[in-house]
Amino acid sequence: MTMLDAIDKALIDSFQRDFPLFSMPFQHVGAEIGVSAEVALLRVRRLVDTGVLSRLGAVLRPNRVGASTLAAIAAPQERLEAVAELINAEPGVNHNYEREHAINLWFVVTGRTQDAVTATLSRIQHRTGLPVLDFPMLRSFHIDLGFPVFDGPCKARVAPPLVEASASPDDLLLLTAIEDGLPLTQRPFWQVAQWLDWSETRVLSRLDALLRAGLIVRFGLVVKHRALGFHANAMLVWDIDDEALVETATSLAAEPSVTLCYQRPRRPPTWRYNLYSMIHGRDRETVLTEVDALVAKVGSSARDMAILFSRRCFRQRGARLSAA
């Protein structure tokens, strides 16, 4: 694990959200953590270069900007790495994890349109020769991995807004331009404006508008949690009676240990689960203790549940709106 000092930790805990939308943002970042703008920028560059951060940029609300889905494959163990490589060959795949389950490869596919996502899934199924299970998100209850990982303040629990707005073609151009993150310069928004032949003011105002509309969930440092010692990350899948799902999911989403919570469709007879939640932890024992507490809280609303710990990360990057 990369050795981090107090400045690195302050950066990570303070700016996973609410990164300053100003012409010279690192002046504001540095002032908040007590360093110069130059030091703040150099530290962010180092954290990206060493793999602690995925990028500095936007985290998009699923299926409100472009299209996305979670998919899974049961790969024979002797083919697992080869199948993961075939999945990663698709530009629309932005996350790909091995998990502890017979259905062992779980990946997220994004694209400009739903047709693009569907085509990606079809190609993966054809190239691997394995059935692909498609689990589009039906409802989100808590989707925000911007939680403090050191000694920062507790994360805010904010219910996702009912988003009616949609991204314009120009917004899609902007978000595609920064899908790999902002350029790490003292004037990153000016650089993006140069790419698009826009004014810097226009770039800043559109990012602010997308944040206010909820199309961007958060804007800031995107952490690779495994690089920070979070190796015991578990996806909990629940078979919840449909009548009790909203109440149960709302209750789970409010728990501090839960970092993600969302509804996805069942796929009988292969897959009976309709509610997903994530716990990110540093050790397995602590996570299992937290799981026990969640099971007790859910009680009889759950007919069944399973724990899918992550084994390996084959890919983690931002959503690919450029994938056609």
pLDDT at 146: 62
pLDDT at 155: 44
Q: Which fold has domain 67-146+226-316?
A: Alpha-Beta Plaits (3.30.70)
Question: Which residue ranges in the chain fall short of pLDDT 50?
Answer: 153-155, 157, 159-160
Domain boundaries, the chain: 1-50, 67-146+226-316
C-alpha to C-alpha distance for 70 and 288, rounded to whole angstroms:
24
Contact yes or no for 134/125 (Cβ under 8 A)? no
pLDDT at 227: 79
pLDDT at 152: 53
pLDDT at 299: 92
pLDDT at 164: 61
pLDDT digits (tens, 9 = 90+) for 170-226: 999 999 999 999 999 999 999 999 999 999 999 999 999 999 998 998 999 999 888
C-alpha to C-alpha distance for 198 and 270, rounded to whole angstroms:
50
pLDDT at 225: 81
Report the amino acid identity of residue 297.
K
β-sheet bridge partners, residue 57: 220
pLDDT at 63: 77
